[in-house]
Structure formats: structure tokens, C-alpha cells
Amino acid sequence: MRDLRSISAPPSAGQAYGIVAHDGWSRPPLRDRPDCHANRRRSGLNGGVQVNKDGRGWRVGTAADVSWIAGHTTAGVSITTAIPSVFDAYATTYQTDDVTAAAYEQALIEDLTTHTPDQPWWLAYLDTGAHDVVFPHAPRVFLYWNWPYVLVQAGPEQALTWRTGGHIRHPHGALPDLFFPADRSWLVSALWDDTWTCVGGPAPLIHTLERDPVANARQVRLGEDALPPGLVRE
């Protein structure tokens, strides 16, 4: 199992830290980190910050774009630790040992796409200090325990391909740590110290995930422990 201390700032500098992780370890104030100064370009379309990749510009999200999540989750062990209680159904999902990261993530994205009209998706990459956030100089938004995320509006193709070098759930994974469509009809979120992923959305989507053996999803109810059978909580 991973040791969060290996991806958090070292304790010797604790006096200078201003961001506290779920595990109690601290992180330096974002304003003091060298990658917090984005090269900002104003877009006439949305008036916001954009970043460039794949030959085009991509809108960077702000606190307003995740205000429906921020402050609307709860502490504890239920699904609402990661997902606001605004959906019809909820599930947890994780990659089993006999499935590759690519196959698992492809299955998850295909199931989500099946239940999502064509629209942009918001992709959020948690800045652990040890994993690719795709746009290291972009501004951050803050969620959960004041964790910093790079939030960019893109789509399912970018969700599968942008990140390199793995994430906290798998060394070969590419998915963002949190993502949702523009219409907010569902939300996928994996917390910093969890080896599984939480999903909230319409019941047909959750049922599709449950029926997909590669997605390996299990429906959970509000208030029950979201820990998937066979996994342990760190």
C-alpha cells in the first residue's frame, strides 16, 4: 500500500505549510510553490484563463465551476465523503489485479459516455506533488481538505490520454482524480488516500457500471461505509 508521506511535503518544513492533507500531513502554501504562476491568456469567448495543448486552447476552471462540490461533502466513511448527496444513485469502483489499467479506465469512460450527451467534461488532477497534473503552471481550485486540483474543460478522450506517469491508484493509470460533465449529471472522484473511486449519477448509469465486469462497480447507499469488499482503508 502506498505511504502518503512519500508524496507529501517532508515534515521538517512543517512550520511553513498551509495546506493540510486528509492524512494530516501538510503542504506548502500554493502561492509559494514555483508552479503556481500560470501563463494566462484571456479568451474572448469565456473571459477566463486558458492553457495550450494538442494545438489548441483549453479553458481552466475556477472555484465557481466546482462550487457545487466544495463544502457539500461530509467527513466520514460514506460515499458523501467524496460525492455530494445530489444524485439518484452511487457506487464505488476499482481496478482488479487481473485487469490492466488501460482496460479498466477505458471501460469506465465508455460506460460514462454511453449515458452522457455530447458535451465538455471537467477534468481535475489532484496535485499530490508526485503525480502529473498535465498543466503544472495552471491555477488551482481547492476541494475537500483544501486539496489543490488543476481543473480543465476537455472531454473523454483527454481524460484517457493526457496524464502520464500514473496516479495514486495505479502507476500506469491516466484518469483524472475527479471529473464530471458540464451538465453535472454525474461525478467521479477518487480521494487522496483511497485506492478506489466513488461515483454518483443517475440510476441507469450506476446499473451499467454494476453490470460491467471490467468496471467492477458496486452500488452503495447513502450513509453506509463506501469501502469496497476486499480493500482496506489506510
CA atoms within 13 A on the CB side of 209: 33
pLDDT given for residue 118 in this prediction: 97
The half-sphere exposure of 94 on its side-chain side, counting CA atoms within 13 A, is 18
With 0-12 / 13-18 / 19 or more C-beta atoms within 10 angstroms meaning exposed / middle / buried, residue 162 is: buried
Name, in order, each residue with C-beta under 8 angstroms of 170's C-beta and a sequence gap of 6 or more: 95, 101
| β strands within 54-203, DSSP E | 56-59, 89-93, 121-126, 141-143, 147-154, 178-181, 187-189, 197-201
Residue 70 CA to residue 168 CA, distance in Å, equals 21
Q: What pLDDT is attached to residue 194? A: 83
Q: Give residue 166's pLDDT.
A: 61
Low-confidence ranges of the chain (pLDDT < 70): 1-47, 166-167, 171
19 and 28 in contact (C-beta within 8 Å)?
A: yes
Residue 35: predicted pLDDT: 33
Residue 48 pLDDT: 76
Give φ, ψ of 58 to 5 degrees: -130, 135
Taking the C-alpha atoms of residue 8 and residue 146, their distance in angstroms, rounded to an integer, is 14
pLDDT of 11-20, one tens digit each? 322 222 234 4
- Amino acid in position 102: A
